[in-house]
Amino acid sequence: MSVLAVSEFSSRILNWYDRHARVLPWRGHPDAYAVWVSEIMLQQTRVETVIPYFERWMRQFPTVGALAEAPEQVVLSAWEGLGYYSRARNLHKAARIVVSDHNGQLPGDLIQLRKLPGIGRYTAAAIASIAFGQDIATLDGNLKRVFARVFDVSAPADGPAGEEILWALAEKHVPPGRAGDYNQALMDLGATVCLPKNPFCLLCPLAELCKARALGVQDERPMMKPKAPVPHKLKAAAVLVADGKTLLKQRPAEGLLGGLWEFPSAEVDADSPEALAAAIETEYRLRVNPMARMDEVRHAYTHFKLTEIPWRCELIHIPEDSLLKWVEITELLQYPMGKVDRAIAKKIEKSGK
């Protein structure tokens, strides 16, 4: 593509952005910390969901130092509801590294940024361009879609070959001095005009340059690798209440929902009290007598779908070395939980028993 065409691509998207840029709370913060927090929150989460979380987060943890000093459970509680909790744990770990190794200032160097937990190629480039004004391209899902359509990239965008083609296109068109605006303009275009389905091509500033539109294949771009079937898991949970307390378990720090609290639960192969009792004894060495089935809770995670069936149970035996914790029902909602266990907790808290 000629230099003139490169200039036209950049000027079109920047002119559009100057008129139609979304008003977002993190764009009103000049500091790199706010940009960093917003970029982490926006990973796999919609803007409208992120906005109230970002605003609360910045009130609760207004600086890197404030975040670094906070206990992990407080950080996880502030993140509750956004999902993908490894993002919060990594943000917390990285804040402590920034304080200890960088005098509390987020580094602007790409290599140093990439060394921080939770900051990959995309996030490092976004921070460097938006917060530090560096002439660096970035590439998220919205940008992939825009470039795949404008340049009719047929290689799967979620495969290594297709992704490298799209990164090269993004880097080729960076306008010197306005990389941050360029990246945010493409994010906004992908979020509001170049939509995954039914894009508003007539409103797009790049419509005249769009090869996929000219060929009538815009709805087929970006190409993606075939998705494997999503497995379904069935779990049962034991809800044990005694003397105004209920029994909880804290999940391991690493992995799905790391560090969050949950009711004792295990995968089962049948929706029955016998299956629950056997699974709970195997998993926790608890002996329970299931008394009443509660309403099931359903949730879709990234790689599987879950149906969890809580049972109110009578406790028969708990080993002395059990790592489970009795928690006051009046304090139950203070413990950070995933959505499934939070739904169960709310039912218990509401009933008071």
Query: Which of the residues are catalytic?
Result: 39
Helix-then-strand count for the chain, H and E: 14, 8
Ordered DSSP codes for 107-153: ---HHHHHTSTT--HHHHHHHHHHTT--------HHHHHHHHHHTT-
Under 8 Å between Cβ of 192 and 17:
no
Under 8 Å between Cβ of 156 and 162:
yes
Q: What is the 3-state secondary structure (H, E, C) of 272-296?
A: CHHHHHHHHHHHHCCEEEEEEECCC
User: Which residue is listed with tokens 């299956």?
Assistant: 275
Cβ contacts of 42 within 8 Å, gap of 6 or more: 50
* DSSP-derived secondary structure letter, 151: T
Query: How many Å apart are CA 83 and CA 257, to the nearest integer?
Result: 8
Query: How many Å apart are CA 264 and CA 290, to the nearest integer?
Result: 13
User: Which residue is listed with tokens 């939770």?
Assistant: 118
Is the bond preceding residue 222 a cis peptide, omega within 30 degrees?
yes
Cβ contacts of 28 within 8 Å, gap of 6 or more: none
